Amino acid sequence: MSYDLVPHLRLPVICAPMFLVSGPELVIAACKSGIGGAFPSTNCRTLQELESWMLQISNSIEPGDAPWIMNLITHSTYPRLEEEL
Domain around 47: 10-84
The residue type of 82 is E
Q: Is residue 58 part of a domain?
A: yes
**pLDDT tens, 32-56?**
999 999 999 999 999 999 999 999 9
* pLDDT at position 71: 95
Is residue 46 assigned to a domain? yes
- How many structural domains compose the chain? 1
Reported for 60-65, long-range contacts at CB under 8 A and 24+ positions apart, including other chains, are 60/24, 60/28, 61/28, 61/31, 61/32, 62/32, 64/8, 65/8, 65/31, 65/32, 65/34
